[in-house]
Amino acid sequence: MTTVIKGGTIVTADLTYKADVKIDAGKIIEIGPNLAGDTVLDASGCYVMPGGIDPHVHLEMPFMGTYSADDFDSGTRAAIAGGTTMVVDFCLPEPGQSLLDALKRWDNKASRAHCDYSFHMAITWWGEQVFDEMKAVVRNHGINSFKHFMAYKGSLMVNDEEMFASFSRCSELGALPLVHAENGDIVAALQQKLMDEGLDGPEAHAYSRPAEVEGEATNRAIIIADMAKVPLYVVHTSCEQAHEAIRRARQAGMRVYGEPLIQHLTLDESEYSNKDWDHSARRVMSPPFRDKRHQDSLWAGLSAGSLQVVATDHCAFTTAQKRTGIGDFRKIPNGTGGLEDRLPMLWTHGVATGRITMNEFVAVTSTNIAKILNIYPQKGAILVGADADLVVFDPQASKVISANGQQSALDYNIFEGQPVSGLPRYTLSRGKIVYADGKIRSNEGDGQFVSRAPFPATAKALSTWKELTAPAKVERSGIPASGV
């Protein structure tokens, strides 16, 4: 049984052209004019693009004393309703827990996914067991990326010594380290100071995590990666200082990537000064939303290529969960949703405004991350032989974003009331129509794990750091007598 997507305009990261796409057994088998097939999808007036890949989601994540509200069922339904056909979640071992045991739990949770998925493995503690298990994670479990939290002191945070050891191990294994870059020690100190001053509301969350703590940590992570001779991926890049650090590193020849979130691109710090506590708390995430200067820097980075990916960090908490932080902003679970809205919001605020081109849109929502994670062209491409993960995107379709009818389990939407133009007409996952006419057509468990091979061992050549090699051991005639 073949499917043909007919009458659309194909948009990839580098080409825009009119052609039909023919699919069989989950793969693209032909691209060209006047194709025929058993099932025909009308794409007239639409752009046919690689399905979105969101490399940063937390579904059913154990965090801050609770679990994020969207699981692999509702979370991946939100993904496909928004034109995203693959998500990458973070497997989080508890301190002291075996990475492989944690992975079993994540495999189990993800068995409900409606679209394809993969995992990053988080390094939440360090020891010989972690060092050993990293190899099995890469070689036997198809995971080539490791996440490091430089914040969340006392729970997820790792220190510089641990990061250097883990980054060095990544270099040996052909894996990519990721960082959540915020200086966790300074954040903790600022949080305490604000609480002591009686500032306990959601606005204080933003004061406790200024751009400086992100800029400092980003710079530090880049230097550590360079010395460990490994590329680096910086998640949720939200400010000018972090962007500048990444841009400088790239200019110097380092392979460093930056990932702004759709939330930081489109919402600003004024969200936290809303009189309604719930409104502000629902938007508490780390890093927090920032002012226009930072937003302009992120947009510039996307069009200039110094920032490569737009993600969501989808980590959704209900209003009831957020309210556990009334009286102490440190207890508001950090995280916001966005999976269903990433593509329409980026199209509306990026492509429709002329800030990025359609081809750049495809690059930053799909193709670039497929290359960075070493799954291109299986994913992120419209090529013969690639997986038929596609979105038929109607640039004329519009709606006003609302929590009513959304796939997410949340009782609100942080983009509520925002008009968007540009919506998926069809979403296809490995050739199967999983979303059409506003309805989900997939089943729990349709998604498959996407294995990611290690990178070729090119890391050493990438480092700009020149190790000082010691000359032959200096012979000394003896210990000088003390002069006193």
Q: Indicate the residue among 73 and 116 with the shorter CB distance to Zn ion.
A: 73
CB 25 within 8 A of CB 60: no
Q: Indicate the residue among 266 and 286 with the shorter CB distance to ligand DUC.
A: 286
The stretch near Zn ion (CB under 5 A) out of 16-24, 214-222, 309-317, 401-409 is 309-317
Longest dimension (CA), the chain: 96
**In 337-412, which ranges are E strands?**
390-400
What values do phi and psi take at 247, rounded to 5? -60, -45
Binding site partner of 444, from Zn ion, ligand DUC, none, Cβ cut-off 5-8 A by kind: Zn ion
Closest residue to Zn ion, based on beta-carbon distance: 180
Q: Indicate the residue among 10 and 211 with the shorter CB distance to ligand DUC.
A: 211
Under DSSP, the state recorded for 88 is E
Binding site partner of 73, from ligand DUC, Zn ion, none, Cβ cut-off 5-8 A by kind: Zn ion
Strand 390-400 to 432-436 pairing: unpaired
With binding defined as CB under 5 A, does residue 73 bind Zn ion? yes
Closest residue to ligand DUC, based on beta-carbon distance: 285
Q: 89, 116, 259, 313: which one contacts Zn ion (CB under 5 A)? A: 313
Smallest separation, CB 112 to Zn ion (Å): 7
Q: Indicate the residue among 64 and 343 with the shorter CB distance to ligand DUC.
A: 64
For residues 50-69, which are near ligand DUC according to CB under 6 A?
58
* Other CB atoms within 10 Å distance of the CB of residue 114: 30
d(CA 368, CA 446): 25
For residues 170-199, which are near ligand DUC according to CB under 6 A?
180
How would you classify residue 331: left for phi > 0, otherwise alpha for psi between -120 and 50, otherwise beta?
alpha
Helix or strand or coil: residue 167? helix
For residues 319-378, which are near ligand DUC according to CB under 6 A?
334-335
For residues 418-457, which are near Zn ion according to CB under 5 A?
444
Smallest separation, CB 284 to Zn ion (Å): 13
Smallest separation, CB 390 to Zn ion (Å): 21
Binding site partner of 335, from Zn ion, ligand DUC, none, Cβ cut-off 5-8 A by kind: ligand DUC
End-to-end CA distance of the chain: 93
d(CA 261, CA 305): 15
Tell me how many residues contact Zn ion (CB under 5 A): 4
d(CA 476, CA 466): 27
What are the residues whose beta carbons fall under 8 Å from the beta carbon of 223, sequence distance 6 or more?
none
For residues 287-326, which are near ligand DUC according to CB under 6 A?
313, 315
Query: Where do runs of H (alpha helix) occur along 197-312?
Result: 202-207, 211-227, 240-251, 262-266, 277-282, 292-304
With binding defined as CB under 6 A, does residue 286 bind ligand DUC? yes
Q: Which residues bind ligand DUC (CB under 6 A)?
A: 58, 180, 285-286, 313, 315, 334-335
Q: Which residues bind Zn ion (CB under 5 A)?
A: 73, 180, 313, 444
